[in-house]
Amino acid sequence: MRERWGEPSRRQRWGGREDLMGETNASEGVLPALRRDEMPLTVISEGDVLVGRLDMSGHGRVQGRFDGHITCPGELSIGSKAVVRADIQAQELTVAGAVIGDVVVRGRLKIEATGRLEGDAHVGSLLVAEGGVHFGLLHVYPGGVPDVAPAVVGDGRSPRVASRSRPLAGSVDRVKKMWGEIF
C-alpha cells in the first residue's frame, strides 16, 4: 500500500511497529507456536463485558463477563467474580467463577472451591476442589481428548445420553394398568 505524500508511513504511525491487523485473519490461525513462557496473555478485566468470538494466541484470564465462544491454545483462567456464557476450547482451564457452556480441555480442567461449570466437559484430566460444582456430562480421556470431541463444542446442542429405558409416558400407563388390576 502506498502512502499519500506528506502522511506518516504505517511504521511511523505505530511507533516503529508495523500495523499488521489489516493483513491478518483470525480464522486462518494464530501466531506461530511459541514456548509456554513466551505465549502472550489476553485479559478481560473485572467490569469489562465482551460478546462474540475470542480466539486467543496464548494464555488468557477472564475476570469480567463474556458471552460467546473462546478458543485458547494456552492456560485459560476464569476469575472468581467472572461470569462466562460460552463454549470453551483450551489447553488448560481453571474455573473459579461461573461458566455456562460446553468445554473441551486437552489438558487439565481445574474447578476451584468457588467455581461452577454448567455444561458438558471433555477433558484430559480433572481436579475439583471441595465446594466446586459441575452440572453436565463429564468425559475424561486420560490418553488425550480425541479429535472428534471438539466438534461437539459450538454446535449449539449438547449431546445427550440415550436412555435405555422405555419412555416415561409408557411406564406411567403400565403402572396405572397394574394398580387398576390390583384394586
Mean pLDDT of 65-81: 95
22-53 confidence digits (pLDDT tens): 444 444 444 455 566 677 888 888 999 999 99
Domain range annotation of the chain: 10-158
Mean pLDDT of 98-125: 96
**Nearest alpha-carbon partner for 108 in 83, 133, 82, 141:** 141
Judge residue 8's burial from the number of C-beta atoms within 10 Å of its C-beta, 0-12 exposed, 13-18 middle, 19 or more buried.
exposed
User: What is the reported pLDDT for 3?
Assistant: 46
DSSP run (H or E) holding 10 = helix 10-13
Sorted by sequence, the CB contacts under 8 Å of residue 81 that are 6+ apart come out as: 46, 63, 97
DSSP run (H or E) holding 173 = helix 168-182
N residues, the chain: 183
Mean pLDDT of 153-179: 54
User: What is the reported pLDDT for 175?
Assistant: 67
91-111 confidence digits (pLDDT tens): 999 999 999 999 999 999 999
Instruction: Identify whether the C-beta of residue 135 lies closer than 8 Å to the C-beta of residue 117.
Output: yes
- In the predicted structure, residue 7 carries a pLDDT above the cut 70: no
